Chains A and B, each alone.
Chain A
Amino acid sequence: MIAVTGANGYVGGRIIAHLRAGGMETVALVRRPDECSGPSRRFVLGEPLAADTLEGVDTVIHAAWDASVRGDEVAAVNTEGSLPLLDGVADRGGRLLLVSTLSAFPAARSRYGRAKYALEQAVQRRGGLAVRPGLVFGAAAGGLFGSLVNTSSRGSVMPIVGGSERLFVTHDEHLGKLFAELAGAGSARQRTIFAAHERPTTLRSIVELIAAARGGRVRLVPIPPRAVLAALRLAETAGLPVPYRSDSLLSLINPAPLDELAALDRPPLTFPPLSRDLWER
């Protein structure tokens, strides 16, 4: 049986849906099992693992991430908080597959990137495999892409921060397919996998593409990243609601170095580029 943590979230939800559509036996490991439609068990980052959480489970796809925490709590909750699960899987001789991110690399500047990278290492030490998707998109997408779709359709003039940095995109259904292949075939792969379309795009291009798909044309006004970063941090400190987290912006304007990307393994399937027909279904 394959367990998926974070199955109530965007990426985890897409993965478990794909596994179930393929007839695989799955269980969702989530904070609130009652909100899940299929078989589920309770799992919370940072809490000790219940005795029956991993019963009958041979593979765990770990997608859970608590995005509500800030500062040092990012690593404490998400990286340290994952260790009971990782140890539990390792003790049972199970297989670990981590949903990581292309923002994870040794010299990452964002807390998110650094914490994910530390988690990758913890997974690898236990014989598991990390998969790094880029900006995940798809129909009714959540995450950053969902926010972009919502904000890009609002007006003809839009501020943009650091719009020309390299950005890789990952179609959610293909990501689900990849995890199904990795979990199902008992893959012997050990090296971290790059899980995105090979040709990078930019935030600017994505916003323009979304606007064009809506039949409009957006005029992008570049804003200095440092100023926006400072403003976001100030707003977060004051507890004000913000459309994007400062840490996400830090990841965006400090993409993974090319040598880091080149050293990653490639998946057994080809990820498509961003296209309207893949997110507007």
Chain B
Amino acid sequence: MVGSGPAGAATASALAGAGRRVVVIDPGLTLEPAREAARQRMASTSPPEWRPEDLALTSFSAGDERASNYKQLFGSDVAFRDDGVLPLELSEDVGARPSYASGGLSNVWGSGLLPYTEEDLLGWPLSAADLAAGYRAVLELLPFAGEDDELARRYPLFIPPDGPLLRTRAGEELLGRLRRHATVLGGSGYVFGAPRLAVRVGHPAPANGCVYCGHCLDGCPYGHIYNAAQTVSELNRGGAIEYRPGLHVDRLRETDGGVSIEATSVADGTGVHLQAERAFLAAGAISSTIILQRSGLLPQRCEILDSQALYLPFAWIGRVGQTGREAGHTLAQVTMVLDDPGVAGNPVHLTFYTYSGGVAERARSAHPLISRVLGPALEGLTRRLLVAICFFHSDDSDSVVSLWDASSGSVRLDPVSNPGRAQVIRRFTRALARSLAPLGIVPLAPFAEQAPVGGGYHYGGSAPMHGHAGLGQTDTLGRPAGCGRIHVVDSSCFPSVPGGAITLTAMANAHRIASAAASGEQS
């Protein structure tokens, strides 16, 4: 297993469950000791007892300028910190970045769990039924907060959720307004409901579930927001797998009866060689792509598909409750999908967030002039905002090209523009204005921010699965053309990247491939 992120955790779980001997290797970067100590102190007490200095150290705004463009965990850049092994050059317009942390991108994810529909899987050599067992297995593995609501008509739950993650009053008001206009919105292609989140909701809190402290965006000190490192650590502790952090995998090569793995020690830069019966690649879409390029299994110039994000603020009109002045979680409050072919060829997913401290901070950094003019009034105004993160299908998004230069031994990531994207965004914001403004939820399109390509961290598709895999493709078990023992199991093997939550499907597909490989299935 290469990688300890969500796809790696699902694979390791499936293989260990099938009685296979599994070794998980990755760079395995972890939180700095001071921050980890602060987190542990916080986890051992309840929020009112947290020390101010621990809160300051672990706040999302505690990181330095260098890390401010990337999501942080407890104020640390650990999720995106360079491990110092591979020279990587990033174009300014690219937000994608590999994660070398133990747990990968699940250190900083929004924890959304929504399966792909049959429509999302158009062009895939798989149907929704092929993924169903994987979805069920993975949801059993994860904490699963959710509700059996109108969303289930389009997105099956697979298993009963553990319970609801309660919304803030503003979140409740938002969903209430949408539900009161469900017929009209449904006629315009909208589907919505309570978000499904990989968050523990057991009781009593904080020991068994969310305590609604509002620090979700900093990181949950109690570990109630799922992190794949938890699964890997539990399997390792229980002896079901062996976890060997500190290794940056460079290349994979099939040999007679096995796979040769070349890696570099993160600690001292020395080369390490491992031999395995079979290899599962789940290093994250950027790292997996680079490993495949370096292994000669993908071309030196390779496109990575992205489901690009748009951050769209909305103004609340009317009574909104005591937004931001109550205990609550700061993850998504409402999930919405707009499926209107007149707007975009593929469904656009929106996750709505109500007030958090980050909104005012983001407004200050994105619009410094307006923020200075508004002064102290900015805080009050941002409390009357909702923010939706909107994810578009990879067909409606820019993409990233990974350029492997064998002579210099370095990689460069560049953006590739999609000429149709601007038009899709214009149609999308107009459609929202037509449908939601009459409900008192007014999109503020001029203040929308487009994330740089890859900046929403929903990417993959560099080694797409195909029924008859050719060069640069993989078969339905994620094996690159000509390979029998190397499986690409993360989102790199997605034929497209639909809008919306990517992690659940990445995990379900990884689980499907690992289960099939463990049982000796060939195709």
Contact = CB atoms under 8 A, between A and B. Distances in A.
Interface of A: 164-166, 191, 194, 198-200, 202, 204-205, 222, 257-266
B328 interface: yes
A258 B203 contact: no
Interface stretch (B168-176, B253-261, B367-375, B390-398): B168-176
A199 B164 CA distance: 6
B122 interface: no
A29 B163 CA distance: 38
How extensive is the interface on chain B, given as a class? 20 to 34
Given A199-B147, A258-B328, A259-B212, A266 B203 contact: yes
B172 A259 contact: no
A265 B147 contact: no
B121 interface: no
A200 B166 contact: yes
Given A164-B169, A259-B212, 4 more contacts: A164-B321, A165-B169, A259-B327, A263-B203
B211 interface: yes
A17 B203 CA distance: 30
Across the A-B interface, the 4 shortest Cβ-Cβ residue pairs: A262-B205, A258-B212, A259-B327, A266-B203
A260 B47 CA distance: 12
Interface in B80-129: none
Contacts of B326: 257-258
Contacts of A164: 169, 172-173, 176, 319, 321
A259 B47 contact: yes
Interface string B118-153: 000000000000000000000000000001000000
B210 interface: yes
Nearest to A163: B176
Contacts of A264: 203-204
Interface of B: 46-47, 147, 163-164, 166, 168-169, 172-173, 176, 203-206, 209-213, 319, 321, 326-329
Contacts of B203: 194, 262-266
Contacts of A262: 166, 203-206, 209-212
A150 to B, nearest CB: 24
B211 A263 contact: yes
A198 B212 contact: no
B212 to A, nearest CB: 4
A202 B147 contact: no
Nearest to B174: A164
Task: Name the residue in A164, A202, A204, A222 with the highest tally of chain B Cβ atoms < 10 Å from its Cβ.
Answer: A164
A63 B240 CA distance: 52
A204 B168 CA distance: 17
B205 A263 contact: yes
A164 B172 CA distance: 7
A264 B176 CA distance: 26
A238 to B, nearest CB: 29
A65 to B, nearest CB: 26
Contacts of B164: 198-200
22 contacts: A164-B319, A165-B172, A166-B172, A191-B204, A194-B203, A198-B164, A200-B164, A202-B172, A204-B176, A205-B176, A222-B319, A258-B166, A259-B47, A259-B205, A259-B213, A262-B203, A262-B206, A262-B212, A263-B46, A263-B203, A263-B204, A263-B205
A265 B204 contact: yes
Contacts of A204: 176
B172 A257 contact: no
A264 B204 CA distance: 5
Contacts of B46: 263
A278 B146 CA distance: 24
A165 B319 CA distance: 11
Task: Name the residue in B46, B204, B206 with the highest tally of chain A Cβ atoms < 10 Å from its Cβ.
Answer: B204
Nearest to A168: B166
A50 to B, nearest CB: 38
Contacts of A260: 327
Contacts of A166: 166, 169, 172
Nearest to A255: B169
Nearest to A256: B327
A259 B166 CA distance: 10
A200 B204 CA distance: 17
Nearest to B149: A199
Contacts of B211: 259, 262-263
Contacts of A198: 163-164
Contacts of A265: 203-204
Task: Name the residue in A200, A258, A263 with the highest tally of chain B Cβ atoms < 10 Å from its Cβ.
Answer: A258
Contacts of B205: 259, 262-263
Contacts of B168: 258
B213 A261 contact: no
Nearest to B177: A164
Contacts of A194: 203
A248 B26 CA distance: 58
Contacts of A263: 46, 203-206, 211
A191 B211 CA distance: 16
A200 B172 contact: yes
A258 B319 CA distance: 20
A166 B203 CA distance: 19
A194 B209 CA distance: 15
A258 B321 contact: no
Contacts of A165: 169, 172, 321
A222 B329 CA distance: 28
A258 B327 CA distance: 6
Nearest to A265: B204
Given A258-B166, A259-B211, A262-B212, A202 B176 contact: yes
Nearest to B328: A258
B204 to A, nearest CB: 5
A166 B329 CA distance: 15
A191 B209 CA distance: 16
